Chains A and B, each alone.
Chain A
Amino acid sequence: MRSYLTRAGAAAVLALALLAPSEAFAAASINKGDTAWMLVSTLLVILMTIPGLALFYGGLVRSKNVLSVLMQVFFCFAMIAVLWFVYGYSVAFTNGSPFFGGLSKAMLAGVDPATMAATFSKETYLPEFAYIIFQLTFAAITPALIVGAFAERMKFSAVVIFLVIWFTFSYLPMAHMVWWWAGPDAYTLSAENLEAVKAAVGDAAAQDFLARLAAAADDTAKATVLADYASAVNASNGWLFNWGALDFAGGAVVHINAGIAGLVAALVVGKRVGFGREPMAPHNLVLTMVGASLLWVGWFGFNAGSNLEANGLAGLAFFNTIVATAAAAIAWTVGEWMFRGHPSLLGAVSGAVAGLVAITPACGWVGPSGGLIIGLAAGFICLWAVVWLKAKLGYDDALDAFGVHGVGGIVGALLTGVFVNPALGGVGVTDYLATDTSTKVADYVFSTQMTAQLVAVLTAIVLSGVVSFIALMVAKVTVGLRPSEQDERQGLDITDHGERAYN
């Protein structure tokens, strides 16, 4: 989903085409096939959250808390949808600093059915609305993932405060840092491409660069101007994007980000009353299986949709989303069978989710063999994290938001840097500036790539860790984090929401 937007409206494109017919920019167009695919992908990602994630989590809690979890996920979706419109989209996907966007598109100012968003191919655009709503679904599911960590013991009011602050100061900056860039067409410095140039560097600078280019006497001078221009465009890109961190569909932005928030929340909120002494078995694993399956199906929109275009790369991402997930489900099952004696359904579906998480950053960069290995690794490592690491450290990550999303996300982000290598079947580092992005690739250098991946992982850990802690403290001093012990024992369904799931 890595992405960029341009303000180049259809009218502007047309005007330029008439004034100075340029094959390049005049060809900028919206493909109906791409648009249809993105709208379908958007629906699939919505399905992941409501009801997919809600049911997955709902089945895992005790029957007295099932509605509280469903409500937290459902309400989170609604709340983020509105915030995305009000300021979220603008902060994540407009120029600002490399860390945070601006408010120029707050309330979607200037967006109409004719405005366009760039894809990864030159001269290929999406209707901006399609892009906005696709991104909305990512923003909505991410805070909802955290709910699993503090399930069964956090007051609804505290959940709302925590999630709003976290979304604003952790999700939006991460999305901006990883995915915001000027887009492929912005790098073409020419009079015909004036609109995109202006959008990238501003009106005055655009005129200045064009004047310098016109004045350049020879090729060397031109190259200097073009290099200066590229640096100027890069200056407004996201910080991690410029590092070259690869995150196809949101490993760092969504999963590590949410997973770390989950870990911090589990530690700060504290353990459930009776944790470790009383049985807290899942109350309905049938719901959990239905939810996990909806997650898997929806994830095809999440991963393959992140390609923004309906092409072969979307097909690759789609395939990886099958093979890695299947491998992880098998890995977790086999691991559990060997070490715990039973191949449990909960183990298989947990493995599948771990595989989905791990393949998320990798799905469009690695080949199917890389995907298979990433899936197997995620299945075993997340099983270890959930069974042994959690027990060893003693935190109560109720539904394993950290164990699956945090750990799986880190595994995926790092292995993406390994298996993107063309020598290992990966697609290599794509140069979006090439006209045909399917063939031209930059050289892959292991140390460079792994450094970038590591920087992205650490950024997500530090940012999300700090923001989560502060957000929880704000919730604590305003409304308090937890219900009374008696209310918690009675169950949040009755005490927080005044209703029961099963009557």
Chain B
Amino acid sequence: MKYIIAIIKPHKLEEVREALGAIGIQGITVTEVRGHGRQRGHTEFYRGAEYAVSFVPKLKLELAVEDTLTERTVEAIQTAANTGQIGDGKIFVIPLEFAVRVRTGETGPAAL
């Protein structure tokens, strides 16, 4: 099993969800986060004041998949979240040791 964390632009959420649905991914968790990579934020003006907003609003997607689905999942997210612009985000994949479904007590891939 793999745990996939993706940071994407907020307005890309719906496209990513559709792409994941199309390859059969059922569970996903979304969190509103702020951060920056090489994009280094943007500038906002309020009357005379100019603020460099270094932490830009992003969405963090988290999902657990079976090993066999990992590559397709990453590809689906990468394709759907892509705009070609700076600040499109990142995808991280880490090994997942264990999973439990709270309702039934099932473990492993059956819990996903």
Chain B positions within 8 Å of A, measured between CB atoms, are 44-49, 51-53
Least distance between A61 CB and chain B CB atoms (Å): 11
**Which residue on B lies nearest to A282, using beta carbons?**
B46
**Residues of chain B contacted by A390 (CB below 8 angstroms):** 48
The answer to whether B51 and A387 touch across the interface, beta carbons within 8 angstroms, is no
Least distance between B34 CB and chain A CB atoms (Å): 12
Contact of B47 among A279, A341, A342, A347 (CB under 8 A): A347
A-B contact pairs, 24 of them (CB 8 A): A279-B51, A279-B52, A280-B49, A280-B51, A281-B44, A281-B46, A281-B49, A281-B51, A282-B46, A340-B45, A341-B45, A342-B45, A344-B46, A346-B46, A346-B47, A350-B47, A386-B47, A386-B48, A387-B48, A388-B48, A391-B48, A400-B47, A400-B48, A403-B48
- Separation of A388 and B48 alpha carbons in the complex (Å): 7
Given contacts A346-B46, A400-B47, 19 further A-B contacts (CB under 8 A): A279-B51, A279-B53, A280-B51, A281-B44, A281-B49, A282-B46, A336-B45, A340-B45, A341-B45, A342-B45, A344-B45, A344-B46, A346-B47, A386-B47, A386-B48, A387-B48, A388-B48, A400-B48, A403-B48
Least distance between A406 CB and chain B CB atoms (Å): 15
Q: Which of A276-292 contact B (CB under 8 A)?
A: 279-282
**Residues of chain B contacted by A387 (CB below 8 angstroms):** 47-48
- Separation of A403 and B47 alpha carbons in the complex (Å): 11
Least distance between B98 CB and chain A CB atoms (Å): 38
Least distance between A62 CB and chain B CB atoms (Å): 11
**Residues of chain B contacted by A403 (CB below 8 angstroms):** 48
- Separation of A342 and B52 alpha carbons in the complex (Å): 16
Least distance between B55 CB and chain A CB atoms (Å): 10
**Residues of chain A contacted by B49 (CB below 8 angstroms):** 280-281
**Residues of chain B contacted by A279 (CB below 8 angstroms):** 51-53
- Separation of A390 and B50 alpha carbons in the complex (Å): 13
- Separation of A403 and B44 alpha carbons in the complex (Å): 20
**Which residue on A lies nearest to B45, using beta carbons?**
A340
**Residues of chain A contacted by B47 (CB below 8 angstroms):** 346-347, 350, 386-387, 400
Least distance between B57 CB and chain A CB atoms (Å): 13
**Residues of chain B contacted by A281 (CB below 8 angstroms):** 44, 46, 49, 51
- Separation of A341 and B43 alpha carbons in the complex (Å): 11
Least distance between B62 CB and chain A CB atoms (Å): 27
**Which residue on A lies nearest to B51, using beta carbons?**
A279
Least distance between A110 CB and chain B CB atoms (Å): 48
**In the A-B complex, the 5 residue pairs with the closest CB atoms:** A387-B48, A279-B51, A386-B48, A386-B47, A390-B48
- Separation of A279 and B42 alpha carbons in the complex (Å): 12
**Residues of chain A contacted by B46 (CB below 8 angstroms):** 281-282, 344, 346
- Separation of A288 and B52 alpha carbons in the complex (Å): 22
**Residues of chain B contacted by A336 (CB below 8 angstroms):** 45
**Residues of chain B contacted by A342 (CB below 8 angstroms):** 45
- Separation of A367 and B47 alpha carbons in the complex (Å): 30
- Separation of A390 and B49 alpha carbons in the complex (Å): 10
Q: Which of A372-401 contact B (CB under 8 A)?
A: 386-388, 390-391, 400
Determine which residue in B44, B46, B48, B52 has the highest number of CB atoms from chain A within 10 A of its CB, and name it. B48
Least distance between A4 CB and chain B CB atoms (Å): 40
Determine which residue in B44, B45, B46, B47 has the highest number of CB atoms from chain A within 10 A of its CB, and name it. B47
Determine which residue in A279, A281, A347, A388 has the highest number of CB atoms from chain B within 10 A of its CB, and name it. A279
Contact with B along A337-365 (1 / 0, CB 8 A): 00011101011001000000000000000
Contact with B along A401-424 (1 / 0, CB 8 A): 001000000000000000000000
**Residues of chain A contacted by B44 (CB below 8 angstroms):** 281
Least distance between A384 CB and chain B CB atoms (Å): 10
**Which residue on A lies nearest to B47, using beta carbons?**
A386
**Residues of chain B contacted by A400 (CB below 8 angstroms):** 47-48
**Residues of chain B contacted by A344 (CB below 8 angstroms):** 45-46
